[in-house]
Chain A
């Protein structure tokens, strides 16, 4: 309750700042994000529009995302649903030219979930050698690093990047990151040790192996369930002409194998690998962005195969700007056509009893039309169609419907 009070207070202070900013635009300065191709996904945390007051070292920013949808599954609909998906506030400050702090607080679905997504101090010894410590975002795949709503033409986050990989999975820890650029090439790396997963990844009410279940553990910011750090590492390479490719991994132990010095179980590993890429095609300006990931969890033979020991899935987005001109008085407005294809196999393997494949998969297609009055704001209309097959491979549950939403940095 107390924390909610402080968060609300922060929010109002922020509001007052924004109001002031509007009154005295010489005092406040808008730092727009850098859209040049010098940026990697790992830069996304800092590469956002911020508002800075005079010469103070503190800059603030945030974004908001909301939508209305009408979805129907096998003829049954919940009707029209208006959702405030999330509001996120960030505050960054430069303590020194090479010491920075950034924090990001997210309010999901009203105040149902309030998370500190990011609160880290960065200390630069050398561009290739930065120390980061605090609550940091485990850089698995690209979406986790670059998830701000206004950057996407789709109202929903990709299933593979939110439910198979945990979206905005942040943990307390520390590690190193760095960047190196030469001519057309930029190379980046990140390597962190953090608190990690717990047994909820197989003891959860989703009835499937579900990595994001660990996000429900509020203790993960102060206690590691088994004392073993989770390693997250990523390397990324961008060529200014061809685009960016990233390889990342997370490796850890999820179960409490020992408690108070007593052995409870063997150590059980959770391993994740992901590959991501993005590029903008020359001339056409088509933006292509995709990610694929694999999960391997050591689920005991004596548990139920309902919870799989392997998963894989990913998505690919294609965004095609079709109009770029002044519309409704917005100078640089853009209209995009886009489409997302996504797939997750929640449980790869065969049943011990029959040798038949375990199904449990979902695929979706999401055509979209979006309007960006400015780069920081997007209105998006999606049609969503997805098919979810149960573990036995019975006729899929079909869901379809429309979603209209808006997202903007502020």
Chain B
């Protein structure tokens, strides 16, 4: 009995030790600056709860035909295309077709603007109609969007230089778009003959995150809502398949996703690398620092942040001109993509790079070399760098 008792005590003791040390010997969290998902630090408890609701709707809610998927669709959830809130791959790439200038999309009656090339059982998906030009869009990262959302229109206009008054060969312009009925214009919005400034999407043709979310549900997954009630297959107005509340939670989630954290701390070497970036004019479009105006979400209000974009459209030259456009952008114009988190792209692109709007660039260098048009000068400056400087520049970009 005595011996048994000791065995028993010993076993219980071992179990207790094992269970109490769990946290220390289990798979640890990757470093904060290796991850794109997660909320902005400093949200209130209620804001965190709301973030989580949006997180679940965005990442975990998989649509099926029973819950409204399709009949035509591109993917089954937001998270399938925006894995870990990072960039996507050719598998999750969208195609849009049918618009060549500011007069609008001529192929709306043939399924435009977005191609739904997948369909539920028994239904035939769409193809690109004859004569329609198209662009492919690889999903961007969704980080730090709240900060971009609260940059004021005035700041965007101040960065634009349509007539290239400063003579640097770079003439950024906003995409002037018509608002969807359900979209409310921003406080202190700047309008021009009834059009507003778009800032989301690769052509900056989307006004805000509500529009982005409601159209993503509708066009990417075939999920109708009170905001976008028309079924992409029949064109009929049908019952909402996602609630207003869920859409608002997802919008809140997108607004409060943290910004990517740099993976190199400020030091002499990093400063030197950043100087190369400035010196060869990259920073003229990829603006290192922007600031927000007032936001009802306290952590977003009046903050400076480092996105490396100006939210403006630039003519990128013939190589990047697909002959398709949105809003008032020309077919060769693209919105400067933020470069923050660039180095983490591979973690959501299956270990590879798929850069530029359609993922055609397989490395950072290839992306730079495909710059043309307004960025021609900057590219030439890049090509003139010594191999060592080029390497330093790439290192800098990877650390963002």
Contacts and interface: CB of A to CB of B under 8 A. Distances in A.
Interface of A: 70-77, 80, 199-200, 202-207, 255, 264-265, 268, 300, 302-306, 327-329, 351, 353-354, 356, 359, 381, 385, 390-395, 398-402, 404
Interface string B230-267: 00000000000000000000000000000000000000
A255 B65 CA distance: 13
B4 interface: yes
Given A203-B64, A304-B118, A351-B91, 7 more contacts: A72-B27, A77-B23, A203-B69, A393-B351, A395-B347, A398-B27, A400-B27
Contacts of B119: 302-303
B122 A265 contact: yes
A70 B16 CA distance: 12
B62 A394 contact: no
A279 to B, nearest CB: 30
B271 interface: no
Given A304-B76, A401-B22, A76 B29 contact: yes
B23 A359 contact: no
A70 B19 contact: yes
B8 interface: yes
A77 B27 CA distance: 10
B8 A394 contact: no
B27 A205 contact: no
B30 A207 contact: no
Interface string B59-87: 00110111101000101110010011000
Given A351-B91, A392-B91, A74 B30 contact: yes
B4 A329 contact: yes
A205 B125 CA distance: 21
Contact of A204 (B61, B64, B125): B64
B293 interface: no
Interface residues of B, number: 45
B110 interface: no
Contacts of A268: 121
A394 B90 contact: no
Contacts of A356: 350
B298 interface: no
A143 B206 CA distance: 53
Contacts of A351: 89-91
Contacts of A200: 64
Given A207-B77, A306-B75, A351-B90, A394 B350 contact: yes
B93 interface: yes
B51 to A, nearest CB: 15
B125 A302 contact: yes
A203 B66 contact: yes
A199 B77 contact: no
Nearest to A357: B350
B27 A203 contact: no
Contacts of A264: 122
A327 B4 contact: yes
Residue from the set A203, A204, A206, A381 with the largest chain B CB neighbour count within 10 Å:
A203
B394 to A, nearest CB: 21
Contacts of B77: 207
